[in-house]
Chains A and B, each alone.
Chain A
Amino acid sequence: KQEVTQIPAALSVPEGENLVLNCSFTDSAIYNLQWFRQDPGKGLTSLLLIQSSQREQTSGRLNASLDKSSGRSTLYIAASQPGDSATYLCAVRHGSSNTGKLIFGQGTTLQVKP
């Protein structure tokens, strides 16, 4: 059974710091991995999608990496800003699924202090 874990559950950093969020999954048979951002009381916004054949994806100050063999992904945020404060979730599309079914981690809540 595929399980997705995000550690730590919460993180607080000063503004301007570079930071890394971690996501691990137990079964390497995935089609892709997606990172989302969720603001309090809101839905999820897709940040980056990494296909299983890719090693990383970049969008602005965000860089996501994928290491299937070790079952890990990281989301790197450069020069963090207070506006980056949110919960970040990762989700994997498991290899046995041919649907949009994603398996989510519990998320890391990030606070960037001015």
Chain B
Amino acid sequence: DGGITQSPKYLFRKEGQNVTLSCEQNLNHDAMYWYRQDPGQGLRLIYYSQIVNDFQKGDIAEGYSVSREKKESFPLTVTSAQKNPTAFYLCASSVDRAINSPLHFGNGTRLTVT
């Protein structure tokens, strides 16, 4: 089955440690995105990539980094510079950057930093 796989489902880290969230898709989609979801708030865009080896900052990129070395993979690193890293992180993809290309989401990774 085609889809987006995020791993792990739950992640626990100590404050001050960097952590990398995995996102893999086998949909052959060009565009990939990372969103953050906090209780009572809508999803907010962290980073997006429209093509391999290219990515742009979203609305809340500070304290995060990404890479896009392969079409299928778009890992997100939450660095120690991120002030409030505890959140639910969602990865998404779309066929391309076309405006009417719907987004498909993975099942998310819940990160808890203590």
Q: Which residues of A contact B (CB under 8 A)?
A: 4, 31-32, 34, 36, 41-46, 49, 51, 89, 91, 93, 97-107
Tell whether, in the assembled complex, residue B40 and residue A106 are in contact, meaning their CB atoms are under 8 Å apart: yes
A-B contact count (CB 8 A): 71
Please judge, given known A-B contacts A4-B42, A42-B108, A43-B90, whether A99 and B100 are in contact too, CB under 8 Å.
Answer: no
**CB-CB < 8 A to B44: which residues of A?**
104
Tell whether, in the assembled complex, residue B42 and residue A42 are in contact, meaning their CB atoms are under 8 Å apart: no
Q: Which of B37-75 contact A (CB under 8 A)?
A: 40-45, 48, 50, 56, 58
| Extra inter-chain contacts (13) besides given A42-B107, A89-B42, CB under 8 Å | A32-B100, A42-B108, A43-B90, A43-B106, A44-B43, A44-B105, A89-B43, A98-B99, A99-B48, A100-B97, A100-B103, A101-B45, A101-B48
A41 to B44, CA, bound (A): 17
**CB-CB < 8 A to B43: which residues of A?**
44, 89, 91, 102, 104
B101 CB–A CB distance under 8 Å: yes
A37 to B104, CA, bound (A): 12
- Point out which of B31, B41, B90, B102 has the most chain A C-beta atoms below 10 A from its C-beta: B102
Tell whether, in the assembled complex, residue A99 and residue B50 are in contact, meaning their CB atoms are under 8 Å apart: yes
Number of interface residues of B (CB under 8 A): 29
B94 CB–A CB distance under 8 Å: yes
Q: Closest CB of chain B to A88's CB: distance in Å?
A: 12
Please judge, given known A-B contacts A43-B108, A99-B56, A104-B42, whether A31 and B90 are in contact too, CB under 8 Å.
Answer: no
Tell whether, in the assembled complex, residue A44 and residue B99 are in contact, meaning their CB atoms are under 8 Å apart: no
Tell whether, in the assembled complex, residue A100 and residue B94 are in contact, meaning their CB atoms are under 8 Å apart: yes
